[in-house]
Amino acid sequence: MLGKLNMDEFAMGSSNETSAFGPVVSPWRREGSNVSAGASGAIEGTHLVPGGSSGGSAAAVAAHLCLGATATDTGGSIRQPAAFTGTVGIKPTYGRVSRWGTVAFASSLDQAGPITRTVRDSAIMLRSMASPDPKDTTCVDLPVPDFEAAISRGVKGLKIGIPKEYRIDGMSPEIEQLWHQGAEWLRAAGAEIVEVSLPHTKYALPAYYIVAPAEASSNLARYDGVRYGLRENGRDIVDLYEKSRAAGFGREVKRRIMIGTYVLSAGYYDAYYVRAQKLRTLIKRNFEEVYAQGVHAILTPATPSAAFGIGEKGSGDPVEMYLNDIFTVPVNMAGLPGIAVPAGFDSQGLPLGLQLIGRAFDEETLFAAGQVIEDSAGRIKLPPAWWA
Ligand code: GLN
């Protein structure tokens, strides 16, 4: 273990701007950008976010500070930062990796996985991270395959689905083009590309922003300044609770706790929480139906855009930030594995990623298809150390 890395507070965020320690700076710069490390070592100019919430992990791997890093993904926090930094990130099937030792955000969605520079490194690292664990009852008792062996399998004879509902308004033409390119690479390697339909996709993000805050409000109740978390002394116990919780959480975390408490409260529970759970079942069923048609994996863009600048998104409307996870969230809602692999660049020279979504506990197919994308795209050249 080399050290601990920065992240969004309680893993809530898509840019690392909610971190209590200040934002992570991406090692990537837009073409022609004047961002540099100043004489004092301070970063000058508009720098880019590495994505979030595991942005520290992604930035450290992309900056060659380490070979690989652990990360967690509740709605996209491994795959979105990997896509923003030209690295590989896999969110394994829910239950593949133990959550023991992870601070719980939304327990029915949280899953740990690696961020690495190559698909092979990802396979090696996941193999050592995955195992049954009596300390996490959601962790399944399945043998861990040799993921590294799977990377050379290729995709000959595999059926890869392209979901039409992932073609969203306002998606950049570069992403659309990259997606098409990815499908062509897989076809050239012997896969059959088929159009599939996941009709409930559009409900995944709104349902996630009910389920995840509901679980978070419950999980974060323990940070009361008595048993867990920051303590601010008060006149009496109620005052201590109030002061501790007011000082111990940032704005975004408070927003989630309030949303979660609201959707779980008597009178609103059926209208919000129960309906979101029903949608979750339908989203999961959509995937099952596609896989029942013989589809082995699904190809989508990882994110609707490349990395943005610090302060550029979400300051007025938090939903603008939430939309970053539009392609990754359905995978968590369905408990399935998803991998983000770097596949190209946008017009500003920033990396873009493709996502492959697999059948439950079939990460091997994701490594096999991910390797085909990596081989076809060519290994992404990571940025030089301008900060050193
Ligand atoms: N960005 C999403 C959120 O803010 C996902 C976070 C995550 O996967 N930890 O909830």
pLDDT above 80 (res 365)? yes
Domain count, the chain: 1
What pLDDT does 43 receive? 61
**75-97 pLDDT, tens per residue?**
999 999 999 999 999 999 999 99
pLDDT at residue 172, as a whole number: 86
Residue spans of alpha helices (H) in 93-203: 119-129, 147-150, 173-188
pLDDT band for position 316 (cuts 50, 70, 90):
confident
| Integer Cα distance of 169 and 96 in angstroms | 34
Q: Would 382 be classed as within a structural domain?
A: no
For ligand 1, atom 10, which residue shows the shortest CA distance?
12
Q: Look at residue 97 and tell me if it is in a domain.
A: yes
The Cβ of residue 43 has, within 10 Å, a number of other Cβ atoms equal to 14
- The structure tokens listed for 159 are 């059926």
51 lines ligand 1 (CB under 6 A): no
Cβ–ligand 1 distance for 213 under 6 Å, the answer no
pLDDT tens track for 119-167:
999 999 999 999 999 999 999 999 999 999 999 999 999 999 999 999 9
Pocket test for ligand 1, best of 7, 77, 102, 220 (most atoms within 8 A of CB): 77
The pLDDT-based confidence of 41 (bands split at 50, 70, 90) is: low
Is 0.85 topped by the overall pTM?
Answer: yes
**256 within some domain:** no
φ and ψ at 315, to 5 degrees? -70, -35
Q: How far is the CA of 234 from the centre of ligand 1 (A)?
A: 33
Residue whose CB lies within 8 A of the most ligand 1 atoms, among 7, 14, 54, for a mutation test? 14
Q: What is the pLDDT at residue 33?
A: 85
Report if residue 266 sits inside a domain.
no
Tokens at residue 3, please? 């050290």
- pLDDT, tens only, 102-129: 999 999 999 999 999 999 999 999 999 9
Q: Which residues contact 267 (CB under 8 A, 6 or more apart)?
A: none
Q: Find the CATH number of the domain harbouring 155.
A: 3.90.1300.10
Query: What pLDDT, on the 0 to 100 scale, is given for residue 49?
Result: 96
Domain presence at residue 246: no
Q: Which residues contact 193 (CB under 8 A, 6 or more apart)?
A: 160, 162, 183, 186, 187, 299
Residue 214 lies in a domain: no
Indicate if ligand 1 lies below 6 Å from the C-beta of 19: no
- Which pLDDT value is given to residue 46? 79
The Cα-based distances of 123 to 119, 245, 281, 368 in angstroms read: 6, 40, 30, 10
What is d(CA 316, CA 24) in angstroms, rounded to the nearest whole number? 21
Mean pLDDT (the chain, rounded)? 95
Residues of the domain holding 97 = 9-196+276-377
Higher pLDDT, residue 220 or 37: 220
Give the model's confidence band at 314: pLDDT under 50 very low, under 70 low, under 90 confident, else very high. Answer: confident
Give the lowest-confidence range in 169-173, 213-217, 276-280, 358-362: 169-173
Measured CA to CA, the distance from residue 95 to residue 177 in angstroms comes to 34
Instruction: Give how far Cα 317 sits from Cα of 307, 313, 314, 323, 328, Å.
Output: 18, 8, 5, 11, 20
Residue 13, ligand 1, Cβ within 6 A: yes
Q: Tell me if 286 is assigned to some domain.
A: yes
Tens digits of per-residue pLDDT, 193-216?
Answer: 999 999 999 999 999 999 999 999
CB atoms < 10 A from the CB of 213, how many? 27
Residue 216 lies in a domain: no
Q: Which atom belonging to ligand 1 lies closest to the Cα atom of 329?
A: 5
d(Cα 109, Cα 78) in Å, to the nearest integer? Answer: 13
For residue 40, is pLDDT > 80?
A: no
145: tokens are: 């395959």
Q: Please compute the mean of the pLDDT values over residues 361-382 and round it to a whole number.
A: 96
